Amino acid sequence: MAVGLFSILILFLVSLGSNATPFFGASYTLIATTALIADGFSIGNFVLIVFVTATGASLGKLVIYAGGKGFRGRLGQNKTVMVLGRMLERKTGLAVVFVTALIPGLPLDDYVYVGAGASSSRLTGMFIVTFLAKVLKSFLEIGIEYAGLGRLYTATGLTGLSRIEASILFSVVFLIVGVAFYKIDLEKVISRLRHRYNAEKPTIE
């Protein structure tokens, strides 16, 4: 049985909403897996759900980018934002975007997109890389969860909390981490790490 239009719309909106809310810990792939089980597995259904959720998740990051841009006046001179802006101008910056968008369970790409918006970084390359990462993320996570391996990683089994409680807890934690991240002087931290590395680096006589 093919996935219904209503299910597609719901999956798109859930993926969009969970990724448009900074540091929110809800798992849209778990809801997508539930829909896949309900409608019946087929290659067509699986591919469709992967691309629908990836599209919604990627578009959600545009909302976060716009939010960062809206706070440009407050964050524009933030040294962490300035470091992120310079990093995103390099090719390695897109690699960081891809990795942070791919890592499951951690909204690391939210931090990147807030900083990117505040520094007015180029969005086209970031969005394309994010979409590719989200396609791979949906493919892997939904596939694993459908196969039943996702049970190994459920919040209930690891912490005694339901997924809703765990999502709320993680959202609060990531919000605090996000505020702390933009409070630190990232440029100074990187400078100290480089200085320490150079000091410990053996010299060749």
pTM of the full predicted structure? 0.70
170 or 113, greater pLDDT: 113
DSSP per residue, the chain? -PPPHHHHHHHHHHHHHHHHSTT----HHHHHHHHHHHH---HHHHHHHHHHHHHHHHHHHHHHHHHHHHTHHHHTT-HHHHHHHHHHTSHHHHHHHHHHHHSSS--HHHHHHHHHHHTT--HHHHHHHHHHHHHHHHHHHHHHHHTTGGGGG-HHHHHS--HHHHHHHHHHHHHHHHHHHHHS-HHHHHHHHHHHHHHHSPPP-
39-81 residue pLDDT tens:
778 888 899 999 999 999 999 999 999 988 887 766 666 666 6
Read off the pLDDT of each residue in 114-143 and give the average, rounded to a whole number. 89
Q: What is the pLDDT of residue 156?
A: 45
Kindly state the average pLDDT of the residues 80-99: 80
- Give the confidence band of 176 by pLDDT, cuts at 50, 70, 90: low
